[in-house]
Structure 1
């Protein structure tokens, strides 16, 4: 119901993102590894060394729309101060 209300209030701007692997994916470099989760609260990327609170790191990935696709391709760098832009394919 929440998604329906959001879609009604912001047509075309609501994007459903699968949260799978967002807590194991680095929001800085896009590397995905279970070993990057040092604990429930600590995320440290084994590839680039980026450190963050695990939930904040996952939220950045979700906000950038980098859920599962981050495992297969290089993520698009998105400024945390800018709303994600939607691309339309023709």
Structure 2
């Protein structure tokens, strides 16, 4: 119901991203490895060495629009109608 309301209020700006395998995919190099989840909370890529909280890593993949096809290949979705993001100063 939440997604339906968001789609109604923000027509054309809501993008559904399947969450499958996002917690097993490295947000830095894109390598998918089920062994990268050392625990419920720790993600460590055996390919590039990137380490992060597993949920944060998955959220980065979802925010970047990275979905995974049924056969496991990475499919990057492009959102053409996104509003410009303002740069923030550190």
Give the TM interval when normalised to the shorter protein: 0.7 to 0.9
Structure 2 distance, partners of 1:8, 1:59, is: 23
- The alpha-carbon deviation at position 75 of structure 1 amounts to 5.6
- 1:5-44 to structure 2, matched below 5 A, reads 5-44=5-44
Name stretches of at least 5 consecutive residues in structure 1 with no aligned partner: 77-84
In the superposition, the TM-score normalised over structure 2's length comes to 0.78
More strand by share: 2
Q: Name 1:46's counterpart in structure 2.
A: 46
- The Cα RMSD (Å) is 2.1
Name stretches of at least 5 consecutive residues in structure 2 with no aligned partner: 82-90
Q: Does 1:86 align with 2:79?
A: yes
In the superposition, the TM-score normalised over structure 1's length comes to 0.78
Structure 1 distance, partners of 2:52, 2:76, is: 18
Would you say the 8 A contact 1:25–1:31 is kept in 2? yes
More helix by share: 1
Report the number of matched residues: 79
- The alpha-carbon deviation at position 86 of structure 1 amounts to 1.3
Runs of 4+ residues deviating >2 angstroms: 71-76
